[in-house]
Structure 1
Amino acid sequence: MSLLSFILWFYFTTNWLLMHLNIARFQFLADALHGTGGFRPQVSRITGTPALSGVSYLIQYPREGDEKFARRNEVAWYANDLGAACSRFAGYLAKRPPMRVTANPLLATFIDDCNWRGDALDVFWSAFTVEAKARGSMLLLVDMPSDPNAGRSVPYLLAIAPEDVAHLSVNEQGLVDFCEIYTDDGVIRGWDTERWWVRKGEQRLDEGEHGLGACPVLAFTESEFPNEGEFAQIADLSRRLFNLHSELDEILRAQTFSLLTYQIPVEQAGLLDIATVAAQIGTHNMLVHSGNTPAFIAPPDGPATIYLSRIAAMEEKIRRIGHMVEAPDKAESGIALTIRFQQLNSSLSHWAARMSDLESRVWDLVTRWLGLSFESVAVSWNDDYALTDISAELDILTAMQMTGFSDATLSAKRQSIVALALSGLPEDELSALLAAEGDVMHERTPI
């Protein structure tokens, strides 16, 4: 028995925890994030008749034929609310990036290019957050180029989606100690606490020891791996919304156009050629009539109205789950906006704490790869994002000025607004602005 075969046999036959990932579920979340798969159905016309050639998240009616269902898929469109929510969430995090301090040039190089593609670590974390927030779980590989002539002397990061995992095992501490993933070139890459390998079926193409004493694959989740996140509900609602839009289009296509009616007297019923009249009457013809006036009849708008109300309610649920604090359709009360900001701030703080733990484990592996001390770098993530409505804060400041608050109180309020509005500035520039704002208030003379 080969070493790799023994490892696989050992993992599958012992009582160690071998994770069973719901690949189909994570693939669905990935499709909802990127608008791919069943949210972008493919329709072929090889024989001239439309036919669905792939998967679709549209639900076929019991009495709907395959050709009609294919036509409905051909014009279906998907509004990517999950991608927008995840990007917006990552954008809030990026406004207050973590602080990193290191004097080691190798670690500084890793910070400037952490994925071997020229992306700085903060840029990589933003993209990683989008993918992880949609799924609720992600994996991260901290690897080192095996070829010393590769032109890179520091480790690099590779994000691994859960749907790409072939086998995964975690220990009692919840840390990954065995992982195999599928790759685009048809092989399987694997790692454990001592070795790495590349195989195709049972044939080992390459292998070696990494000597880290820990598996270089890290698991990330909002709670306990593997787990769906709070935004997974948006994917489910988006699938229903995807169907609602398609069903509404079908209703409008079938019932929007009014029908022209003309009452024929009984004595003329046998003298009128209905087929000829129906073919000739149109928007560029004149209809000459005698007796009763022709009229148009239209189907009731009840079904379409019901669908529009359902769509509006579904979109509102998606906005609330995605912590969208803007009010696009109507003005919200200050209390309602405050509550929604608090929910967003809480979610951001929780995510930042999890990311801080992940980055700490990343630096542990990076320093192991380089043979450095873990204390070679210091990282600090924000624990309070304190997002708020700047317009509301300015209204409060105006009310305080009109009420006659002291200069010291007004100065503190103005400084807090400056800190909220310009939080993305470098620390030295922000401190100078805050000090200047305080000086301006003290230089004013009482009226």
Structure 2
Amino acid sequence: MVIDRTSDQFLLDAYSGQGGFASGAYLIPHLREADEKLKRRKELAVYPNFSRKIVNVMMGFLWKQTPSRESDELYSTFAMNADGAGGKLDTLLSSYQRLAMILGTVYVIIDKPKTQGQTRADQAMPYMALRLKSQLVAETKNAAGTWMSVTFSELDGKETRYRTYTTTGWMLTKDQDGSDVIEQGEYSIGRVPVVRLHIAKPLNPTDSAAQSFFYDLAGLNWDLYNARSEMRELFRAQTFAILALPVADDNERQRLTNLTISTENALTYNPAGGGKPEFLAPPPDPVQLYMEQIANTVTDIYRVANLEFVGGVQQSGVALSFHFQECNSALGDMAENCEAAEVEIASLVYAWQDKQFTGNIAYPKDFNLSDLQTAINIAMDSVTLGMGPEFDKAIKKRLAKQILANDTAPSTMTAIDKEIDAAGDTYGDRIAQQAVA
């Protein structure tokens, strides 16, 4: 299986934890790994979904306050039923923005029902429809980068159809080249009725797609997924060590063939020969290296999401302020792009009604990142507390420092660390409960 990490499907699977992450198809086999061993790894694979946690928490902050809108009754009516099926504008836009965060860009079609009333009062309102990057199959632009036409693929039952929008009309065809027209229509809004919703500004302002915020997170989470699977296999290999028995001759070796030894039976041996049974186990170094790699990958996930201030490393006030500013700037850019897309959506809604939008739309662009830090920590702990005993201890120590360090003597913190190392479950669970409270 060839894994295309740039595809919409891979990125959506990385967010949902489904697809190849659920089936194990996104595991990379070792060069000489047996099929049976790979099959077992697929069955035991667990996907620690940091990426979804980060996206969801950041989306929660982006939409903690609803946008400020100054408009007339027309836009208020549209906002109450923005998709023509009862969906509210804020609900739809937050969903679209989450997809844009994952994919980089989504496309919002502002269309109008073909069947209209006899009077202006009876005329149906425009509605929004969503298209993904994978559905954009063709486009033409003028010198300024403005769309002159755009074509999306869509399914009609099991058949693929192609819907093209131009500055003067639309058509639905069986073929991508538009040679077999099913139906078509005209409009006089003066532009292609499709809005690009970017999560970040494209490198080239005229590009139709922006880089995904989620892409690096998905790649790191994929790396973590594979590392955890490989470490799990090492754990399995070390759990049942090999018992070595001294034998006097080939007859004794033959007699002991297919011998099963476990905690439920016993083995007798003659010590006269000077030998005794001994267990042979692989060295622990590979597992320790995997644990370090997993911890470093988690740190990288924080870093690429501009969340360096989340974690157990104590930072100076200057460093903390800088990282807060970086994260606030990233969130502000996301809000600004969604605001720009909604202004364009509003303009199209009014254009379909032969009017001009003169209202104002403003999204919050400043965020309380102390609250974000707490929310991210809690969300991440819910993932990491299931990554194995050593990783659990590290997380519990981090939580103890975050909750108690400011009011607790260093000697007490040292004692707490030793308690966690010795038998930290009871205390660690109490720390985790305090963090969530």
For Structure 1 versus Structure 2, the TM-score category normalised by the shorter chain is: 0.7 to 0.9
The alpha-carbon deviation at position 198 of structure 1 amounts to 1.1
Mapped to 2, the partners of 1:350 and 1:320 lie a distance apart of 18
Measured at CA, do residues 23 and 282 of structure 1 come closer, stay the same or move farther in structure 2, by a change above 3 Å?
Answer: closer
> Which residue does 1:29 correspond to in 2?
11
What does residue 31 of structure 2 align with?
Answer: 62
The residue that corresponds to 1:241 in the other structure is 224
What's the CA shift for 1:184? Answer: 2.7
Residue 429 of structure 2 is matched in structure 1 by none
Residue of structure 2 equivalent to 1:285: 265
In the alignment, which of 99, 108, 111 is matched to residue 68 of structure 2? 99
Correspondences of 1:132-143 after superposition (within 5 Å): 132-143=100-111
Please list, as runs of the form range in 1=range in 2, the aligned pairs for 1:6-405 lying within 5 A after superposition. 25-41=7-23, 56-104=25-73, 106-148=74-116, 153-185=124-156, 186-201=160-175, 202-221=179-198, 222-224=200-202, 225=207, 226-264=209-247, 268-272=248-252, 274-276=254-256, 278-291=258-271, 292-324=275-307, 327=310, 329=312, 334-375=317-358, 377-388=359-370
**What is the CA distance between 1:344 and its match in structure 2?**
1.4
- SS of aligned partner of 2:124: coil
Query: 1:178 deviation in Å?
Result: 1.5
Once residues 356 and 258 of structure 1 are traced to their aligned partners in structure 2, the CA distance between those partners, rounded to angstroms, is 60
Residue 188 of structure 1: how far off its partner (Å): 1.6
Match of residue 14 from structure 1: none
- Give 1:370 shift: 1.5
| C-alpha distance 173-85 of structure 1, shift in aligned 2 (>3 A) | farther
Partner deviation per Cα, 1:372-427 (whole Å, 9 max, x = no partner): 2311x3212223335335999xx9xx9xxxxxxxxxxxxxxxxxxxxxxxxxxxxx
CA contact (8 A) 1:352 1:382 kept: yes
Label 1:254 to 1:117 Cα distance change in 2 as closer, same or farther (>3 A).
farther
Which range moves more in the overlay, 215-224 or 250-259? 250-259
Cα shift at 1:139: 1.3
Shift of 1:191: 0.8
Mapped partners of 1:295, 1:209: distance in 2: 84
* 1:386/1:196 CA distance change after superposition, 3 Å: same
Note the residue ranges of structure 1 that are not aligned, 5 or more in a row: 1-21, 43-55, 399-447
Q: CA deviation at 1:152?
A: 8.1
271-280 vs 215-224, which moves further: 271-280
Deviation at 1:162, TM superposition (A): 0.4
The answer to whether the 8 A contact 1:86-1:129 is kept is: no
Alignment match, 2:422: none
Residue matched to 2:379: none
Q: CA deviation at 1:213?
A: 0.7
Task: Give, in angstroms, the shift of residue 274 of structure 1.
Answer: 4.8
Structure 1 distance, partners of 2:5, 2:132, is: 10
Query: Separation in 2 of the partners of 1:152 and 1:34?
Result: 40
The CA deviation at 1:182 is: 1.6
Q: Is the 8 A contact 1:176 1:218 kept in 2?
A: no
Q: Percent identity among equivalent residues?
A: 28
Using the alignment, how far apart are the partners of 2:5 and 2:245 within structure 1? 60
Letter in 2 for 1:250: E
Deviation (angstroms), 1:174: 3.2
Secondary structure at 2:7 match in 1: helix
Distance in 2, matches of 1:145 and 1:248, equals 55
1:312 Cα deviation from its structure 2 partner: 1.0
Which amino acid letter does the alignment assign opposite residue 77 of structure 2?
T
The amino acid across from 1:192 in the alignment is T
Structure 2 letter corresponding to 1:41: S
Contact preservation (8 Å) 2:61, 2:372: no
Q: Residue 26 and residue 391 in structure 1: after superposition, are their counterparts in 2 closer, same or farther (change >3 A)?
A: closer
In 1, the alpha carbon distance for the partners of 2:263 and 2:217 equals 45
Unaligned runs of 5+ in 2: 375-402, 407-437
| Deviations 1:89-142 (CA, angstroms, capped at 9, x unpaired) | 2111111221112232x3212112212333322222211121111222221111
Structure-2 separation of matches of 1:288 and 1:333: 63
Post-superposition offset of 1:340: 2.6
Shift of the 281–388 alpha-carbon distance from structure 1 to 2, 3 Å rule, reads: closer
Could you tell me the TM-score, scaled by structure 1's length?
Answer: 0.71
Counterparts of 2:43 and 2:238 in 1: how far apart (Å)? 20
Structure 2 Cα separation of the partners of residues 340 and 323 of structure 1: 7
Structure 1 pair 108–23 and aligned structure 2 pair: CA distance change class (3 A): farther
Root-mean-square deviation (Å)? 3.0
Per-residue CA deviations over 1:289-311 (Å, capped at 9, x if unaligned) read 33144222211111111111111
- In structure 2, the partner of 1:52 is none
